[in-house]
Structure 1
C-alpha cells in the first residue's frame, strides 16, 4: 500500500462523536473545494457504521447541496430510517458551518439468492497495456505543470487509466460521448465489503462527466473551458467486487441541456461481471466572458 492510499483510508475513517453522529476530516481536491467523491464516500461510511454486519450496501442516492470547505471538518448525522427483515435504510446529512452541504440516502440488504442476468461487458483493452495517468499527463505540453502536479497528487491513491484520450488531452472537436476508464487502488485493501464499496464510490465521481465534455469538444477544468460541479449521484451495487482489482468504468452521456449534463455508466470486474451501475448529473457551463 502506498502512502497516498493509506492517507485516503485515514481520511475515510470517521471519528464517532455521539450516537449516529460522526466527524470526518477534509482536504482540498484539484480545485479549492472538497472533492465530491470524498463527501459521498465518508457519508456512506457513516451510514455503514450504523448497519448490522450482515447487511451489504446495494444502493445510494445523493445530492450535492453546497461547496465543501476543505479547511474545516465535516459532521455527518445519520437518521436510522428503517431496519427491516431484509433491508436497512439510512439517511445521512453532511454539515459544515451549520449548513448542510450534502445529503445521502443508502440502502443495505441481507444477502440472498434470486434471478440472475446482466448486460455483457463491452470490449476494452487490457489495463496493463494502457498508459498510467502520470505517463499521459506528463506528455501533455499544453497543460500547466502546477495543474498536472495537483491532479496527480489528488489521484495518487488510485491507478486510473483511460482507454482513449481524456477530454483535457484532446479537445476542440466533438467526439462520441463515450469514455472508458480502468481503475484500482494503488495497494491491497482488507476484506470488509463496505470498504470496497466506499472506495468505488470515491472514484466514481472522478470521471463520470467526461463523456459530456467529449460530446462538445471541451477539455474541462484542466484547460479552463468549462465550469462544472456535481449535482446528484446514484449508484447500485449488483455483485461483489474488490476495489483493489481492476474495474472497467464504461461511461456515456445521453443528454446535456439547461446548463446540466447527464452521465451514466456501468462498472465491470475484469472477468466480466457487472458490479455497479452509476448515474450522475452535473452543472456543465461555458465560463462567462
Structure 2
C-alpha cells in the first residue's frame, strides 16, 4: 500500500446498529477526495466495540463497494481469532490484513516476532504489522520489524508510535526489503514521508482526505518542504479529532463536512457544546486553508 488511506469510521445509527447504506456512501465520499486505499476495522472504526460478525460484514461491505485496495483490520489478542478474521477478509476480497500487536497480556519482542511469523505463515493475504502503543501498551522494536520484513508474506507496517526517530530506524532496518512503511499520525505525515515512509493510515484522511492526498502528492513531486508545510496546516485539526475529542469528535467533524459518519457506539458519548464549538472553530480554520490544497 502506497499513498494515504483512512482507518475508515464505521457509521452506526442512533440505536447503535451498523448502517450499511451510510458505510457504502462513506466509501464513495472518501474515494472521491483522492484516498489511495481503505482500512475498515481499524482503531478509528470502533472495531473493538463490534462483534466478530459485525467486523466481518463491515469488511465485506467496504470490499464490495471500494474501487481502491482494501487493507482490513483483522488483529485480535489471540492467533486463532486473528487468522479466522484474516481468512474471512480474504474470502470477501480484502487485499491485505492489518494485524495489531497482541494486547491485554504483556509480550516480549521474541514472542511478538514468533506470533507474527505464525500469522504470516498461515495468512492467505499479505500481512501488515500494526504497532500502536498508546492503545496496547506494546510496541514493535525497529530490530524486530527488520527481521519480520524478511518474511515473504509480511508486506509492511503501520507505525502509530508518533516517534519519528524510531520510524527512521525502522526504515533503515527494512530498506533492503520489499516493505511498505506507513505512519499512523497525520500530524507528522510530511516528516514521515521525508524519512522514507511510503504513506499513511490516518484519522485525518477520514475528515480531510483531500489534505492528506495533497501532502502525499507534494512528496511524490519531490517537494518535501511543501509536504511539511501542508502537514503543519493540518496539525491542529488532526489533534482535535485524535488527542482531544476522539472518535465522537471525529464523527461530529465529519458530519459537519457532509460525510455520512453516523454516530459513535457506546461506551462513547456525544461531545458537549464546548467541544462542538471548538471543533467548529478548527473546521473553519481548515476551510480557510483549503485553497492551499
TM-score (norm 1): 0.26
TM-score (norm 2): 0.26
Name whichever structure is richer in strand by fraction: 1
Name whichever structure is richer in helix by fraction: 2
